[in-house]
Amino acid sequence: MEFYVQYGPVVTWQRVDSKVIPSVFMDHYHAYWEALEYLYQKGYRRILSVTLCQEG
């Protein structure tokens, strides 16, 4: 994920072990629901969600 820092600031809401990318903790369910609701109200119907899976 650190590769994308070259394009601008990156902050993740998933915990990552990185000195380059800050992460924050948040209520994922509530934030995800709010974001989907906002996009749906704007007329978007084809929405893709991408998550990173960490091994272990």
pLDDT 10s digits, 30-56:
888 898 899 999 999 988 777 766 665
Structure tokens at 24: 């924050």
Residue 6 lies in a domain: yes
Q: How far apart are CA 17 and CA 26, in angstroms?
A: 17
40: amino acid identity, one letter: Y
Domains identified in the chain, total number: 1
Q: Which two tokens stand for residue 45?
A: 């119907």
pLDDT, tens digit, for every residue of 3-19? 888 998 877 777 778 88
> Looking up tokens 């709010």, which residue turns up?
34
Residue range of the domain that includes 14: 2-41
Beta carbons within 10 angstroms of residue 32's beta carbon: 13
Whether 50 is in a domain gets the answer: no
pTM score: 0.47
